[in-house]
Each structure stands twice: as structure tokens, then as C-alpha cells.
Amino acid sequence: MGQAVATAVIKNNLAAAQDVCISDVCRQKLEPLQNELGVRISTNNIEAVDGTDVVVLAVKPQTLDVVMAEMSGKLPPSALLFSIVAGWKIETLVDGFCHQEVVRAMPNTPAQIGKGITVWTATQDVMSEQRLNAEAVVQVMGRGIYTGCETYLDMATAISGSGPAYTFLFMEEMVKAAVSIGMPEELAKILVTQTVLGSAEYAQVACKNLSTLRSDVTSPGGTTAAAVNVFEENNFGGLIQKAVETAYQRAKELGNT
């Protein structure tokens, strides 16, 4: 996700590539990003954040303790800490970094093409200019939803944060099913991708709820009804519910490690 944020910021001219520095302990991971995006790279976190206005925190949740221990009290005083680390609470970030100006956000991977959605919140110490900076970062990634309730961030992690993977899995299985009945794979990919894209865009503009939209496509006794019956008989809805609840619980667990 860190790469997605950097890509969106640079592509939309929110920051010049040479003004963006990406840090990681593994230089081999950084060099392709330098070549692709034209950013500066560093294996030293303290050097990477020197003089910056916005620090995007995009590390794995399991490694955040190490980063906080290294960076505690070392962020520029006027910098905004913009965290996209799943699960970790704002209070923990404020204490761990000894820094008050913190935004916690949950974007998703379509941010790379400006089609993502980000749920975000901020501490009361975030100043108006910093808030504008945060909003600008969110907007170049797609749509943003601000909330004063941090609990929604873990919920968003299970829905929109992980949601692209659920969608890709469904698409992957649709393609496999198409191939199994004799359709060429490339044709199947085109049909599945455009069907998901068109359905999502139609759902956004149609003045109907999702249940009604589904019913509109499902003629009694028809092909769609036959397929939907298979989903329902095999507890498709229950499986989705269990998956989301499991992801939500995991997000909360990550914040308590």
C-alpha cells in the first residue's frame, strides 16, 4: 500500500518524485521503486523523514514496534504522521512515536489508479494545514470518508481494505469456471472483468438497493436464478459473513500485539 500511496501522490502532482523518499531495510526492494517512480530511497528511516511535511507510515503491523522504538521522538516537530498500518490505534501511534499530529487511514489497492476508497480519522492536534495535506493525499487515491469514530477503521480494514482480494478471488474463480465449460481463458478474463466493473458502476448510479438490483437480473426459472440458488443453497452469504468477521477480528488483534 505504501507504493500505491506514493504512486498516486506522484502521478497526481501532489509532490514531485524527487521530493519523495521511500525507506526500507532492504535496498533490493527500493531500487525498482526508484527506477519506476524516480523517488529518492534510503535504508535509514531517520534520514528519510528529515525535513518532510508528511510521513506515510506503511510498514507491516508485525514490525511496527521496532519502527516506533527507532523513531520515537525523531519525527520533525511540524510533520504529519499518516499511518496506513492495519489495526494499530492512534493512541498507540501517538505514544510510540511521541508525536501528537497523527492521521490513521485505511486505503485500498485501487488507490494506485485513483479509484480507491479511504476511511480515515485524525487526532485533535492535527492542525488545519496538516488536515488539508491529509485530505489531499486521500483524494488523489480516490474517494475519502472521514470519521470521528476510530472503531470504523478496523471495520473498513475487513471490508474495503481487504475487499479487493475478495473481489479478485471471486473473479479468479469465475474465470476458472468459464474455462471449465469450454471458454477460452482470455475471453473469460475480459467478460469477468468488464462484468464486475460495469456492475459496480451501475450499482453506484442506480437509484435502487443491491437486493433490488440482483432481483432485476434474476428472472424466475431462468439461468441466473439457477446459479443464485446454488450460491444460496451452499450458504454463500454465511461464508462472506464469516470471512468479514474473521478479518475484522484479526485487525483488532493486530492493534493489540
Domains of the chain, CATH where assigned: 2-148 (3.40.50.720), 163-255 (1.10.3730.10)
161 contacts 108 by C-beta, under 8 angstroms: yes
pTM given for the model: 0.88
194-203 CB contacts, 8 Å cutoff, 24+ apart: 196/167, 196/170, 196/171
Grid coordinates representing 124? 485533535
Look up residue 254 and give its DSSP letter. Answer: H
Q: Residue-wise pLDDT tens for the chain (257 aa)?
A: 888 888 888 888 889 999 999 998 888 889 998 999 999 999 999 999 998 999 999 998 888 999 999 999 999 999 999 999 988 999 999 999 999 999 999 999 998 888 999 999 999 999 999 999 999 999 999 999 999 999 999 999 999 999 999 999 999 999 999 999 999 999 999 999 999 999 999 999 999 999 999 999 999 999 999 999 999 999 999 999 999 999 999 998 887 76
Rounded distance between C-alpha atoms, residue 68 and residue 251, angstroms: 19
- Please give the single-letter amino acid code of residue 234: N
DSSP 44-63: -HHHHHTT-SEEEE---GGG
For residue 159, count other CB atoms closer than 10 A to its CB. 17
